[in-house]
Structure 1
Amino acid sequence: MSIELNHTIVHATDRDATAAFLTDILGLPDAPVYGPFRVVELGNGVSLDVVEHPGHLTPQHYAFLVGEAEFDTIHARIVERGLPYWADPHHHRPGAINHNDGGRGLYWSDPDGHNLEIITVPYGG
């Protein structure tokens, strides 16, 4: 059997709001409840299991590989909602899209400051 990522846990100050934010921006189905989690299902069988976490959160980075059409749609949602976005992970190039590895990419933050990224080409081309 090959080794694949199955799920990861996303800590959030408001589980339901974070799951709704992710599914809305990414255009995914509503996240069902499974125990203490809201399960955000991605297209490749991996899930982001959002759990409420009291206290300080350490921001994490979550990158999503998307097609060209999905990139345009997600970018439009980010712009429509007035969310700031950047071409780089350190947020030095506001309102821009990068063209790394011959694709397109951008970064934005979720309500808890997790650094989210969409790319159309995996790193390294």
Structure 2
Amino acid sequence: MSAKFNHTIIAAKDRHESARFFRELFEAEEAPSWGVFTNILLDDGVLLQFAEPPVEIQMQHYAFLVDDELFDRAYARIRDRGIEHWADPHLKRSGETNTEHGGRGVYFKDPSGHGIEMITRPYL
């Protein structure tokens, strides 16, 4: 068996708010939560676990590959909620999407300030 990505812990200022943000944006399933974790489940069984660490949160980058239909719905939610977004990772092209790598992409921040990238085509 080759290695498969299974789960990651995402540091959050408010774990419930962050889990709700990702769940609603990406139409993800709720997953059983335990202890300090609030969990959501993505396709292929990937678990996102949100926790509130007792240290200052450092910004991380998380990229999500979605199909064109989900991109349209999620991007509409981003715009409807007034979430600032950019077409580029340097945050220079505000309010736009890009057409890099034969697909579409957008960058924005989650409630804890992490850099989120949503793309419709993988880089490789």
TM-score between both structures, scaled by the size of structure 2: 0.94
In the alignment, which residue of structure 2 is the partner of 1:79?
Answer: 79
> In structure 2, what is the Cα distance between the partners aligned to 1:37 and 1:2?
27
Unaligned segments of structure 2, at least 5 residues: none
Q: How far does the alpha carbon of each residue in 1:17-63 deviate from its partner, in whole angstroms, 9 at most, with x for none?
A: 11111111112223431221111211121111111113310011111
> In structure 1, what is the Cα distance between the partners aligned to 2:79 and 2:116?
15
In the alignment, which residue of structure 2 is the partner of 1:108?
Answer: 108
Counterparts of residues 29-68 of structure 1 (less than 5 Å): 29-68=29-68
> In structure 2, what is the Cα distance between the partners aligned to 1:25 and 1:49?
16
In the alignment, which residue of structure 1 is the partner of 2:123?
Answer: 123
Which letter does structure 1 place at the counterpart of 2:103? G
Q: How far does the alpha carbon of each residue in 1:71-114 deviate from its partner, in whole angstroms, 9 at most, with x for none?
A: 00000000010101101112111011111111000011011110
Q: CA RMSD in A?
A: 1.2
Does the 8 A contact of 1:87 with 1:106 survive in 2? yes
Unaligned segments of structure 1, at least 5 residues: none
SS at structure 2 position matched to 1:75? helix
Does the 8 A contact of 1:64 with 1:117 survive in 2? yes
SS at structure 2 position matched to 1:97? coil
